[in-house]
Structure 1
Amino acid sequence: MPRTILIADDDPHIRQLLVFALAKAGLDTVEVEDGEAALAAAETHLPDLIVLDINMPRMDGIEVCRRLRSQSDVPILFLSSRDDEIDRVLGIELGADDYVTKPFSPREVVARVMAILRRVASCPPAVTHAAGSLRHGCLALDAEGWQASWSGQPVSLTVTEFSILRTLATMPSKVFSRDVIIDRLHGPGFAITDRTIDSHIRNLRGKFARLGANDVIETRAGIGYRLGACGAG
């Protein structure tokens, strides 16, 4: 089936260029002109990837990325101006997959989109080796149902967040480096940064903290992360 790309940019000329270029590559497109419309379109059309401009009216791309990452692992490619370096870095930390700087070649955008789609297709979440349930203190993970709970209360996690937590829970005493976590999620050589893992860890901690759980994941400075006591004392 054709894959759908959501293009969110307030410049109609840029949207037109990308629609044309992506269509030539055999991809379907949906286009919107502001951040709020991008969130609505992502929920309605369930795109395979989102091309997201940083500077948009009604809601900027950084906030759109933040909200998407709270509930979805849809790949995100940022479009940014040359003076948006800080926002660009923040976007990557929030979990964006790549970025292209304006002005850009439509061919470059298509190449990056196709590369991300290939990575996603070749690295589906691994579930066969972690069937069943994992429990540690107040934390329970249903690996087959992709469900997490804390003292019986469900916690809504994205696929990546659940996969990170499951990785830590399989060996609660082990400290996992960021590189090892990336390898467990996507396989060796997957091109994401340590900061992306840090961002997912922050999101995980924030979701559990809202339930009063502040000891889910421990940081070992200079090494990585391991599962915390999880209320077990």
Structure 2
Amino acid sequence: MNQITILIADDEAEIAELIALHVKKEGYNYIIASNGKAALQAVQTHSIDLAVLDIMMPELNGYEVTQLIREQYNMPIIFLSAKTSDLNKISGLVMGADDYITKPFNPMELMARINAQLRRYKQLNQSVETDKKVIEAGALIIYPDQRRVSLYEETIELTPKEFDILYLLASYPKKVFSAEAIFRNVWGEAYYDGSNTVMVHIRTLRKKLGEEKAKNKLIKTVWGVGYSFHG
């Protein structure tokens, strides 16, 4: 079994070292980056399994690093931030993060979230290899093995969560999923006020698919119930 390596990117050395201490206790390797540019370079030059990114970093901030990582990699990303508002959390998740934890934080809670994301990432990769099939709905084609979506033969750039939501809905045409069911399936954890998070992801997903101008929408809202896919 390959050794798991965690990227810890934070310009506060004490916080980075604290996280590294707990990561090491868990038996994982780690790489510390003190700014966004160094974090991106670490991803490009090492085999990183999960990234813990502070949002407010010099050189490149956590949002910018995440956008650049998502152009090539699917690793789980956990944001660290002193900003506690729901809007900031949702913005972080929409930008491509898989989880968001606010400072100050309990290191044990962070490790629990790291382990949960690693387990889920491994399960997703296994299911892609064994169970998932290409889905075609008119001009839309979903390739689960590549985690790629094309529309009218043009690749649509989706975040990992947007892809997971689309694949979940498209796998069960016309079945209505509540926001709670989507959150549990895609985020793989208990539903904790995730309705806004799901709604924002659906909104950005629709925009990327050109649903705003489409008469016959692929993703339909069933008011008061949830969302369904109509290919």
Shorter-chain TM band: 0.7 to 0.9
Equivalent of residue 226 in structure 2, options 224, 227, 232:
224
Cα distance change on mapping 1:126 and 1:110 into 2, 3 Å: closer
Higher deviation after alignment, 169-178 or 27-36:
169-178
1:26 aligns with 2:27: yes
SS in 1 for 2:14: helix
Query: What is the one-letter code of the residue matched to 1:134?
Result: I
Cα distance change on mapping 1:55 and 1:117 into 2, 3 Å: same
Query: What is the one-letter code of the residue matched to 1:12?
Result: A
Superposition pairs of residues 144-163 of structure 1, within 5 angstroms: 146-163=147-164
Q: Pairwise CA RMSD of aligned residues? A: 3.4
Q: Percent identity?
A: 39
CA distance in 1, matches of 2:208, 2:118: 28
1:8 aligns with 2:5: no
Partner of 1:52: 53
Partner of 2:182: 181
CA distance in 1, matches of 2:207, 2:132: 25
CA distance in 2, matches of 1:217, 1:35: 36
Whose RCO is larger (CA < 8 A, sep 6+)? 1
CA distance in 2, matches of 1:77, 1:144: 23
Partner of 1:202: 203
Superposition pairs of residues 156-171 of structure 1, within 5 angstroms: 156-171=157-172
SS in 2 for 1:209: coil
Structure 1 residue 3, shift from structure 2 partner: 0.8
Contact 2:96/2:159 (<8 A) preserved: no
SS in 2 for 1:112: helix
Cα distance change on mapping 1:146 and 1:23 into 2, 3 Å: closer
Query: What is the one-letter code of the residue matched to 1:217?
Result: I
CA distance in 1, matches of 2:3, 2:20: 14
Partner of 1:126: 127
1:37 aligns with 2:38: yes
Query: What is the one-letter code of the residue matched to 2:223?
Result: A
Partner of 1:78: 79
Structure 1 residue 12, shift from structure 2 partner: 1.9
Query: What is the one-letter code of the residue matched to 2:225?
Result: I
CA distance in 1, matches of 2:187, 2:88: 25
Contact 1:70/1:157 (<8 A) preserved: no
> Gapped runs of 5+ residues in structure 2?
none
Contact 1:218/1:225 (<8 A) preserved: yes
Contact 2:78/2:101 (<8 A) preserved: yes
Query: What is the one-letter code of the residue matched to 2:219?
Result: I
Structure 1 residue 95, shift from structure 2 partner: 4.8
